[in-house]
Chains A and B, each alone.
Chain A
Amino acid sequence: MASKQKLVVIGNGMAGARAVEEILARGGADQFEITMFGDEPYGNYNRILLSEVLNGSHDAADIFLNPLSWYADNGVKLHAGVRVEKIERRARQVIGQNGEMEPYDQLIIATGSVPFIPPIEGLYGADGSYKPGVFVFRSLDDCNRITEYAMNKRAAAVIGGGLLGLEAARGLQNFSLAVNVIQRGNALMSQQLDSPAAAILRTTLEQLGIAVHVDKNTSHIIGSERVEGLQFSDGSKLDCELVVIAAGIKANSAIAARAGLAVERGIVVDNHLRTDDPRIFAVGECVQHRGQVYGLVAPLWEQAKVLADQLTGTNPDSAYHGSKIATKLKVMGVEVASMGIIDPAHEGDEVVQFTEAKKGTYKKLIIRDGRLVGSILLGDISKAPYLAQAYERNTPVPEERLSLLFDIGAPSEATSVETMPGEMQVCNCNGVTKDKISLCVKQGKRSLKTVMESTRAGMGCGACKALVSQVIEWACGGATEEDPSAHYFVPGVPLAQPELVAKIRERKLKSVSAVFGELAGGVEDPASKPGLASLLSTLWAGDYIDERDARFINDRVHANIQKDGTFSVIPQMPGGVTSPAQLRRIADVAEKYRVPLVKLTGGQRIDLLGVKREDLPNVWRDLGMPSGSAYGKRYRTCKSCVGVEFCRFGLGDSMGLAQKVEQRFQGLDAPGKLKLATAGCPRNCSEALCKDIGAVAVEGGRWELYVGGAAGAHIRKGDLLCTLDSQEDVLKIAGRFMQFYREHARYLERTYAFVPRIGIEKVRAIVVDDSEGIADLLDEAMQRSVDAYKDPWLEGDAPATSHQFTETLSIVQ
């Protein structure tokens, strides 16, 4: 066996330790003998929580991420409390402060940042160290020193009104002393806030008892033995006994510079986190990548992964492309979110703004070409998760800008995650509380997917998913992980939708088992089966090889399973139109099979609930009506109103159109349900405006076509796609839109999510104006699917699998 390589890591902070975790997760223990140096005499802790330690809400012991035992358990040798003084590149070794020497084959520098100290006189005592009463705020030791000194003092000042300064001020408030924040410029948090937001924040802070001094340049520290006050360049003074300098940070790159590595604002690295010495990598705040130096944790999680992929060779294609960061924080109990630019920068940048200064609420969005390029939220940040996603992924935002600032129609998430009681239910479908999610995070699950899998939170109606994400984020102090499978079409096949479709077409994979066999190493994931089945049926229509085990039970027996294992039967009733004969037949069937409940559905038809599995074939035969497909992810119904034939306001034949729609699209598979409606006039009695597709008759014999509407767990008014001249055109464009959706949506993504993700302008360009020249292809593909349709209820007389409708088999000897 080849001997292991020596991997040395300088810096045992958040980035260094995370990089080692990622390396171990990739089996790195077999490749490397790992040695770490940490200037601080501890294991790795969550630096973000230092202000909570300072303000007393967390114990120092609670913030450790990797206690000393972790290093021993994982075979990592740690020099705790040992600073590395020198990197000797030619000899390939590093030298610690007491002469400890460690040779390396590969080296990682993760030295973080050091506080930036502005030129102020009187900072240092005679011995060259900080004068008693002067502190910086970077480490657990700083925190302990401040705590010790602050006892029984009357006044403190924080130099720096940025994020770190305000965190320090919040911590200091805990010591019942007067807290002053000194800001050199005229606005607080100038990196994250524009001036109106800064002004609101300032008022809020002042109400909380913090004195904010702006435009104050500290020239020197008064007091010969210890701090007694501050002197400003405008001649004014401030009495205080304690000063925390939080004026910014700079990359801690001196050791790299001394070793002759390229250093600008930070240690210069490439997309693999490699310095200009191929054996030396760097990660975290000490790094400069594509001209950027970062001061938050999110980017370093991404960097650590790429670094580990590269070092271990597990994924040579992996690369770091820089981070777009959305910051979410709480400053003295005030919630703040900020991302991207804070003021418009280009001509044509659109600004959407809302201010309610009295309540401390401020919201601002900057939109460029339909995409979010910046946002500031203060006070109410309930929209932050959505906006951050739109910003990070650069997806188009809805036309209706108001909905970006407020939740209209949907119940508001008034409770902030932090103040939410632990026993409060986050997922109302599966009864998962905040505590249960926190516990799961503590056990090491840090992504939405893994938490959902182990708690089932968010797996019911799905409406709470955003809140679940927020709780996870809160529980791991911002250090969430994104599960790579979040981008896969289905979790069990590691490919995003476009790549998956390409591979399926290229290798002509026509069945679900073939996909697992060729693209997932033969490993079947049951949760992925229905998604693949839906996609394959869309791609191959009549040529799809339909394996029944890939279907959810509803789609195996063509009815909806009930809580007691019986089924509900909903026959087709296009446009909600029925007849006395049909009603009589339904009544007879209900009596004959002792159906426990007959109910009108929200989809304008009749539901026979509680049918026994064995009776299904007979019920269908006696009804003599086609399946209404009230199960499965597919075309469901087209509701209608009475329309022009009877209604005094009617402008178009909504009933007739609904029947044609149903005839054409019945049973069509799709990534999500498709619920349609037609309305005879804009009064919209059939609710066509909030359907996946809605057609509304308008004056002049024309039809408005709306797409992307919803009124279930999520409420959204559809976007007007186009106005058409005839019913034939409605069928054609609606069909083309459906095919486009079928081919491009993620599995289970309803049109209310799909349309805003793509952007209605782009949907219109492709579907109506044929900007990509694919209209004919879409129309042909839709026609093939329509032609391939067979009424599933015919299987009642010709079962597709052995004992398809048998509830319990008896033993055959």
Chain B
Amino acid sequence: MEVRLGPIATIPEGEGRTYRVGDERIAVFRSRDGNLFATQASCPHRGAPLADGLFGGATLICPLHALKFDLRTGTAQNSDCTLRTFPARLDASGHILITLND
């Protein structure tokens, strides 16, 4: 199922924001080189708000205990934790579209 979240301008370049989609919370990241990533919103380690992490390229560092995630795959570099990831893209009018796997 594809969901339209709203205009890309909502997310500053190089940062992430958390969206509520039904009863799910999804973190969406907008990289400075023009990519979009979407993942589960809270860290599988101790539940940190992932959208608050430091982010660059496709790497995200969790704000609480610095687990490092690859946003393309959801795998963590320094632990066994894995994130659920969702395909994300922009539509013609510059709105964010994510695909939820049901």
Contacts and interface: CB of A to CB of B under 8 A. Distances in A.
A808 B56 contact: no
Contacts of A456: 65-67, 78-79
A185 to B, nearest CB: 51
B4 A813 contact: yes
Nearest to B43: A565
Interface residues of B, number: 44
Interface in A509-534: 513, 516, 522-527, 529-530
B19 A529 contact: no
A91 to B, nearest CB: 51
A548 B14 CA distance: 8
Contact of B56 (A430, A525, A810): A525
A526 B5 CA distance: 25
Given A526-B55, A553-B53, A811 B13 contact: no
A809 interface: yes
A454 B78 contact: yes
A529 B20 contact: no
Nearest to B22: A811
A813 B64 CA distance: 32
Contact of B6 (A549, A565, A811): A811
Contacts of B65: 430, 456
Contacts of B20: 808-811
Interface string B32-70: 110000000100001111001111110111011111100
Contacts of A516: 56
Nearest to A430: B65
A793 to B, nearest CB: 19
B19 A808 contact: yes
B21 interface: yes
A420 to B, nearest CB: 22
Given A456-B78, A808-B25, A811-B3, A527 B14 contact: no
A807 B46 CA distance: 17
B94 interface: no
B46 A524 contact: no
A526 B7 contact: no
Contact of A524 (B7, B32, B77): B32
A806 B16 CA distance: 12
Nearest to A460: B65
A530 B54 CA distance: 9
Nearest to A523: B57
A459 interface: yes
Instruction: Pick the most buried of A525, A526, A529, A530: most chain B CB atoms within 10 A of its CB.
Output: A526
Contacts of A523: 57
A807 B14 contact: no
Nearest to A557: B52
Nearest to B7: A812
Contacts of B68: 453, 527
Contacts of B79: 456
Contacts of B48: 561, 565
A549 B12 contact: yes
Contacts of B64: 561, 563
A548 B52 contact: no
B85 interface: no
A547 interface: yes
A525 to B, nearest CB: 6
Nearest to A517: B32
Nearest to B16: A549
A812 B15 CA distance: 19
A802 B13 CA distance: 10
B61 to A, nearest CB: 5
Contacts of A74: none
B57 A809 contact: no
Nearest to A547: B14
A529 B63 CA distance: 13
A565 B47 contact: yes
Contacts of A563: 46, 64
Given A548-B15, A552-B63, A811-B19, A526 B46 contact: no
A705 to B, nearest CB: 36
A319 B19 CA distance: 54
A801 B57 contact: no
A807 B55 contact: no
Contact of A552 (B3, B17, B54): B54
Contact of A809 (B12, B19, B63, B77): B19
A550 interface: yes
A3 B15 CA distance: 48
Contact of B18 (A459, A524, A548, A808): A808
A811 B13 CA distance: 19
B9 interface: yes
Nearest to A564: B47
Contacts of B67: 456
A455 interface: yes
A803 interface: yes
B63 A802 contact: no
Given A529-B56, A549-B15, A565-B48, A803 B10 contact: yes
B90 to A, nearest CB: 14
A524 B12 contact: no
Contacts of B10: 802-803, 809, 812
A230 to B, nearest CB: 57
A714 to B, nearest CB: 20
Contacts of B66: 456, 459
A803 B17 CA distance: 8
A802 B12 contact: yes
Interface in A414-460: 430, 453-456, 459
A513 B61 CA distance: 17
Given A513-B32, A553-B63, A561 B52 contact: yes
A581 B52 CA distance: 35
Contact of A811 (B5, B9, B41): B5
Given A526-B55, A809-B19, A801 B78 contact: no
B78 A455 contact: yes
Contacts of A524: 14, 31-33, 56-57
A530 B56 CA distance: 12
Nearest to B30: A549
Contact of B78 (A453, A556, A807, A810): A453
Contacts of A547: 13-14
Interface in A199-237: none
B54 A809 contact: no
A431 to B, nearest CB: 11
A296 B33 CA distance: 48
Nearest to B54: A526
Contacts of B9: 802
A809 to B, nearest CB: 5
A526 B78 contact: no
Interface in A775-813: 801-803, 806-813
A556 B59 CA distance: 19
Interface string B65-85: 111100000000111000000
Interface of A: 430, 453-456, 459, 513, 516, 522-527, 529-530, 547-550, 552-553, 556, 561, 563-565, 801-803, 806-813
Given A524-B31, A526-B54, A530-B54, 14 more contacts: A453-B77, A526-B60, A527-B61, A547-B13, A548-B14, A549-B13, A549-B55, A549-B56, A553-B53, A802-B12, A802-B17, A809-B20, A812-B5, A812-B10
18 contacts: A454-B78, A522-B33, A524-B31, A525-B56, A526-B53, A529-B54, A549-B12, A549-B54, A549-B55, A552-B63, A561-B48, A561-B64, A802-B10, A802-B12, A807-B49, A808-B19, A809-B18, A809-B19
Interface of B: 3-7, 9-15, 17-21, 25, 31-33, 41, 46-49, 52-57, 59-61, 63-68, 77-79
A-B pairs with lowest CB-CB distance, top 5: A549-B14, A524-B56, A812-B6, A526-B56, A553-B52
